[in-house]
Amino acid sequence: MKKEIKGFMTGVVTTAFISAAVFTGFADPVGKAINAVYNNIKLYVDGKLVQPKDAKGNDIEPFIYNGTTYLPVRAVSEALGKPVSWDGESNSVYVGNKPFEDTKETKEIKEQKEVTVSTPEELVKELGSNKKILLKPGIYNLSKLKQTYSENKQVYWQEVFDGNELVVKDINNLTIEGMGQEPSEIIVEPRYAYVLSFINADGVKISNIKAGHTEEGSCVGGVYSFKDSTSIDINKSELYGCGTEGLNIEGVEKLKFVDSKIYDCTYYIMTVKDCKDIEFINSSFTENREFDLVNVDNSSNILFNKCNFKDNYTGYDPEYSFYDYSLFNIKLSEKVVVKDSKINKNKCVHLAKNKDSVVFENTDISDNTFYKGEFLK
């Protein structure tokens, strides 16, 4: 298939110099006459017959010229699921993204403005794009702030069951970093609020920060939430309980969790949904409870490397057969990889729901209690 498509595209590129009429109306013809051979050529893509059409929906027949088969670029592009466009100024045909198109992958990273803060008021005021916020040692209780309507649509409060939650939206290139030898601490009081909730963020780094709740929570309300975000880096940080879970990420691409800890969370360790390229490196997950602990749904390329899972437990009652909570609950995802790690002294109904959902490489799994066996199935 790759060889055939390569030949198709070669023909398309050459045709651009021979006759623009092949491009279904992108430009005026160059005006060079050619002798083409039409031989009822059919186009198949992945075994499916495709009928080439022009921009108006009329059928177009491929032809042969000088031993090369030529196809309409629009037909080939659409068959491959790629957009196609014509730039008259440069006489260029674009299949897929244009060169240097402003996407999150090609966006220029601007220099960060560095600021130092010592109060929660100063911290929230400075949240925004292209910032490096240095937190002096101490405790930053966001719940002590005046929480009212804000015209700032990037940093605002939203109501949860027992208070308000701080939301940071549509920002990029932000660093939040503790300055001391010990992490600076960010806390909130509402049990149903995340300490920080990020939406559509790109390039967020959290370093040397300890974060959690003042009281135990239930139902919802973890430490960090990231939705529809890219390039997230959490390092040398602590995410602790009295929150339901340490990390909740949805629609996230490229997250690194390095030299950090999640501990004492009341419901789960984490939730990973619709994500890809997520790495946990040299980090620990300890004394968390009580349902499925590591939850991964519809995600790919999830790696735990040199991590430690210890003293976690799930609820269990032998009188109730529906208790099947696991350390790893992986659904509709690529196999999660756990390598060069330790899994010790955990008490769970199962190690994993499905033995084919997790790959353990050079990992010490010992001194655990799995009430109904390592795997449910």
Question: What pLDDT, in 10s, does the model give residues 251-288?
Answer: 999 999 999 999 999 999 999 999 999 999 999 999 99
Q: Cβ atoms within 10 A of the Cβ of 9, count?
A: 16
Residue 67, token pair as written in the block: 């031993």
Residue 249 and residue 218 share a domain: yes
Q: How confident is the model at residue 8 (pLDDT cuts 50, 70, 90)?
A: very low
Residue 312 and residue 170 share a domain: yes
Q: What is the dihedral of CA 306, 310, 315, 318, to 10 degrees?
A: 100
Q: Give residue 300's domain range.
A: 113-370
| Distance from C-alpha of 274 to C-alpha of 173, rounded to nearest angstrom | 23
Residue 225 and residue 333 share a domain: yes
Residue 147 and residue 63 share a domain: no
| Distance from C-alpha of 309 to C-alpha of 346, rounded to nearest angstrom | 8
Identify whether 375 is part of a domain: no
Number of domains present in the structure of the chain: 2
Up-side HSE of residue 49: CA atoms within 13 Å toward CB?
Answer: 3
Average pLDDT of the segment spanning 13-22: 37
Average pLDDT of the segment spanning 5-19: 38
Q: Which residue carries 């031993």 as its tokens?
A: 67
Render pLDDT for 333-374 as a digit per residue (tens, 0 to 9). 999 999 999 999 999 999 999 999 999 999 999 999 999 999
Residue 203 and residue 257 share a domain: yes
Render pLDDT for 87-127 as a digit per residue (tens, 0 to 9). 666 677 767 655 544 444 445 668 999 999 999 999 999 99
Identify whether 103 is part of a domain: no
Render pLDDT for 137-161 as a digit per residue (tens, 0 to 9). 999 999 999 877 677 889 999 988 7
Identify whether 377 is part of a domain: no
| Distance from C-alpha of 182 to C-alpha of 31, rounded to nearest angstrom | 74
pTM of the model: 0.71
Identify whether 9 is part of a domain: yes
Domain boundary among 69, 95, 121: 95
Residue 327 and residue 228 share a domain: yes
**pLDDT of 22:** 41
Identify whether 100 is part of a domain: no
Q: Residue 238: what residue type? A: E
Nearest residue to 166 (alpha-carbon basis) of 218, 217, 124, 216: 124
Residue 121 and residue 8 share a domain: no
Render pLDDT for 311-328 as a digit per residue (tens, 0 to 9). 999 988 776 667 899 999
Residue 139 and residue 70 share a domain: no
- Top-confidence residue, 73 or 349: 349
